[in-house]
Chains A and B, each alone.
Chain A
Amino acid sequence: MIRLENVTKRYGETLAVDSLTLDIPAGEVCVLIGPSGCGKTTTLRMMNRLIEPTSGHIFVDEADVETLRPEQLRRGLGYAIQSVGLFPHLTVGENIVTVPKLLKWDKERMAARVEELLTLVGLAPSEYEGKYPRQLSGGEAQRVGVARALAADPPVLLMDEPFGAVDPLTRQRLQAEFVRIQRDLRKTVVFVTHDVDEAIRLADRIALMRGGRLQQYATPEEILDHPANKFVHDFMGADRALKRLGRVKVSDVMRTDVPTVDSSTRAADLRSRASCAEERFLYLVDGSGRLAGWFDCADLADGGGPESAMTSVDWRESAVASDASLKEALSRMLEFGFRSIAVVDGEGRLLGDVALPTIEAALGAGDTHVAAADGQGGARP
């Protein structure tokens, strides 16, 4: 979809990008990463001709971008940046239809698109459409920025640290949303970041750059397991095994047949339940299947009263979402001192759980998984 051939950008004596060759297949997320000044943003901005390369060629959909009018080219490439750059004098709705307006869509189509996109990025259209950028939180502004980039349904999205300016919690939520949206839309995405965890979580392929040169271009697994050189090894960090967990989704490995009891069951009645013999924890769910707490059989065995064995929890705090990564699940477990953690859907309904041994198994399996990916090729040194 996007192909760079020997692209070089020179500022006076400085080489910002040094004969970069890169092939980004359609429908994949390519993350450009590297230390600051490595040329990743310059590379991105050359793709929509905000910066003109000194030499080399860039092809989008087999067309040399040089042959296209810059404005025409850019209207076909969604663009989202860290500082968002929402137009402060326009409402959220007006901001979103910036490109459709340039493309002269009719009013009904634009109105429908605003509603569709706000829903897609998880903002209630009726509430947000008429707001002004100043009235948005950082996370909301970033969502609107993404919606604006998607407005004319461009096949390609260029994103320059789009989640860089928000707090870590919001960033994780935005990343999860991005994964969800990308799963449906299958855009070709070029994503610049300096956050290794973000790259591992979102990328189909990572292009690691340094001093304007490409160090390695491969899947996250390949980069973690077989770094091309010491720089790649060091940049990805010492906790590579842990990082690999960021690639595995909880829903892929969770146990689904968890023992549950209705939360209205009286504690005293649980004593006699046979399930206590097999399982240490019984999850308590309410009438609609929402996680309400758990019952610890071991406490009972130690001679504690039934009430002390019963723990009520808020699912928002003591469980992980099914689209969370194993890394998040592990960090939650360590935080609370659990040996296993419940998995819930967006409404809090219990889907299953993940236990430490499962994570250990996933860590071990990672190697074979990567080995399999190796066989499929696509990874280049």
Chain B
Amino acid sequence: MGSAQSRRIDRVAAAGALIALAGCVWLPFAVSRANRIVAGVPAGIGSAGAPGYALALLAVLALVAALYPDRGRRPAFALASAAALAAILPWALGRSAVTLLAGAPAFARVSVGGGAWLTAAGAAVVWFAASQAASRRTLGYAAAGLVAASWALAFAFGGLDRLSLVMEYAVQRDLFWSAVGTHLSLVGISLGIALLIGVPLGVAASRVGLVRDVVLGVVGVIQTVPSLALLGLLVVPLSLLGLPGIGPLPGVIALTLYSLLPIVRDTYIGLAGVDPAIVDAGRGMGMSRLQLLLRVEAPLALPLMIEGTRAAAVTIIGIAAVVAFVGVGTLGVLVFLGWGQQADDLILLGALPMVVMAVVADGSLRWLGRAVVSPGLRGDLR
């Protein structure tokens, strides 16, 4: 029975290399269209010329690295080939765009094909496997810097700006940035309101059993209702109150409601999880309820409260897209316009920033959640 260390090959890196290779040779690398909305014509890796062939070669090299018997050198070898794949990819895409657009009319577009996505995914897997096995981190950071630089250069000199996604951005620049702004502010406002309501509710739930049952039950049911349905359901009560059933108001209400469950639940769990002996000691020494909450219970529950906020943020960044249906100009507008026009790159232009926002919110709030843990509670304490 071999562990990852004792195996003669790195199976994960090998799988990643095969995925990358499949991306190079099996799926269309790029898709060309006469204009932005007609059906595309797939183009193979050949359209990318020398960088394209280099990609295929590098995928093979990555496979060799994964099978390389010297376990000491293998990670660096695999990491280098993964980094090279990631660094060459934009040049291949750019070359493909330039080649396919040569002599074509001005409306013609070239989109990123499934093969390119798959190659990127394969490179990521090889990278992950190599950095797991590597003993030092510096190599990974250096490689990441190199890849970022290569992408920047490819934008400037490699024809990457000829890709449909980039052209779409150029056309929709104003709409794009206003959508990003609307998306972020809608999420931020809703999260702020949800914290103002949810934290006190969580505190109340940790104090009174009845409040806990009712509040957790209600926010739990809200959470299961599909976002689109909740927006629809808000139309009637809002119009009964004489308020607009579409626009930012129902959007903020819906996002706030969806944020409540994780925030209330994690605040409650955090507070309920405080050792009763600690509370007893605090009370017995003469702390008032508020002092106990602020000095003892809240610091102990804070990491979980931040975890709830993180879960809420990640959830509503996605739901904010759906809010576009009730007339709020979030990134969802780009996605739905794209769906309506069957314009793939418009869809991507809306979806990719959402993914970036979710990943950034996730990472930064996870980091914050760890940073606020008292050193007395960290696992690494000796």
**Interface check B283, CB cutoff 8 A:** yes
B275 within 8 A of A: yes
Proximity bits, B273-305, A CB within 8 Å = 1, else 0: 001011111111111100100001001100000
Contact of B284 with A134 in the complex, beta carbons under 8 Å: no
Residue A48 lies at the interface, judged by CB distance under 8 Å to chain B: yes
Partner of A71, one of B287, B376, B382: B287
Cα distance, A133 to B288, chains bound together (Å)? 23
For residue B296, which residues in chain A have a CB less than 8 angstroms away from its CB?
A: 87, 89
Contacts of A16-57 to chain B: CB distance below 8 A: 45, 48, 50
Given contacts A132-B376, A134-B376, contact A102 B285 (CB under 8 A): yes
A89 and B277 within 8 A (CB): no
**Complex Cα spacing A86 to B281, Å:** 8
Q: Mark B353-382, 1 if CB is under 8 A from A, else 0.
A: 000000000000000000000111100011
Check if B281 sits within 8 Å of A74, measured CB to CB. no
Q: In the assembled complex, which residues on chain A have CB atoms less than 8 Å from the CB atom of B277? A: 81, 83-85
CB distance from A345 to the nearest CB of B (A): 34
Name the residue of chain B whose CB is nearest to the CB of A94: B376
Would you call A88 an interface residue if the criterion is a C-beta within 8 Å of the partner chain's C-beta atoms? yes
Q: Which of A81, A89, A134 has the most CB of B within 10 A?
A: A89
Q: Contact partner of A91 among B286, B287, B299, B376, CB < 8 A? A: B376
Assembled-state Cα–Cα distance A151/B286 (Å): 13
Complex Cα gap A149–B283 (Å): 12
Q: In the complex the two chains form, is A87's CB within 8 Å of B282's CB?
A: yes
Q: In the complex, what residues of B have CB within 8 A of residue A79's CB?
A: 281, 284-285
Give the Cβ gap from B137 to chain A, nearest Cβ, in Å.
28
Chain A residue at smallest Cβ distance from B284 = A79
Give the residue of A83, A84, A98 whose beta carbon is less than 8 angstroms from that of B285: A98
B288 to chain A, nearest CB (A): 5
* Per-residue A-contact encoding for B294-336, CB less than 8 Å = 1, 0 else: 0010011000000000000000000000000000000000000
Known A102-B291, A132-B381: A89·B285 in contact at CB below 8 Å:
no
The tally of CB-CB contacts under 8 A between chains A and B is: 82
Contact B382 A135 (CB under 8 A): yes
Point out which of B277, B288, B376 has the most chain A C-beta atoms below 10 A from its C-beta: B376
Would you list which residues of chain B between 235 and 294 have a CB under 8 Å from chain A?
Answer: 275, 277-288, 291
- CB pair A89 B374 closer than 8 Å: yes
With a CB–CB cut-off of 8 A, which chain A residues contact B381? 132, 134-135
| A72 CA to B285 CA, complexed, in Å | 9
Mostly helix, strand, loop or mixed at chain B's interface?
A: helix
Residues of A within 8 A of B279 (CB): 85
Interface: A327 (CB within 8 A):
no
Chain B CB within 8 A of A241 CB: no
Q: How far is the CA of A73 from the CA of B376 in the complex (A)?
A: 30
On chain B, the residues within 8 Å of A132 by CB distance are: 374-377, 381
Beyond A50-B283, A98-B285, A148-B285, is A133–B275 a contact (Cβ under 8 Å)? no
Contacting residue for B284 out of A74, A86, A87, A133, CB 8 A: A74
Decide if A329 is an interface residue (CB 8 Å cutoff). no
B286 and A72 contacting across the interface, CB-CB below 8 Å: yes
Chain B contacts for A70, CB-based, 8 A = 286
Contact (Cβ within 8 A) B278 A90: no
> Nearest Cβ distance between residue A231 and chain B, in whole angstroms?
30
The interface bits of chain A over 94-118 (1 if a CB of B lies within 8 angstroms of the residue's CB, else 0) are 0000110010000000000000000
- Residues from chain A with a CB closer than 8 A to the CB of B278 are 85-88
Q: How far, in Å, is B298 (CB) from chain A's closest CB? A: 10
By a CB distance below 8 angstroms, the chain A residues around B282 are 85, 87, 98
Given contacts A74-B286, A90-B374, A132-B381, A85 and B281 within 8 Å (CB-CB): yes
Answer whether residue A75 sits at the interface, using C-beta atoms and an 8 A cutoff: yes
Q: In the complex where A50-B280, A85-B277, A135-B382 touch, is A99 in contact with B375 (Cβ < 8 A)? A: no
B residues within 8 Å of A by Cβ?
275, 277-288, 291, 296, 299-300, 374-377, 381-382
A interface residues with partner B (beta carbon < 8 Å): 45, 48, 50, 70-76, 79, 81, 83-91, 98-99, 102, 132-135, 145, 148-149, 158
List the 4 closest A-B pairs by CB distance, nearest first: A85-B281, A132-B376, A89-B374, A74-B286
What would be 28 A-B contacts, judged by CB atoms less than 8 Å apart? A45-B284, A50-B283, A50-B284, A70-B286, A73-B286, A74-B285, A79-B281, A81-B284, A83-B275, A85-B275, A85-B279, A87-B278, A87-B281, A88-B376, A89-B296, A89-B374, A89-B376, A98-B285, A98-B287, A99-B285, A102-B285, A102-B286, A132-B374, A132-B375, A134-B381, A135-B382, A149-B285, A158-B284
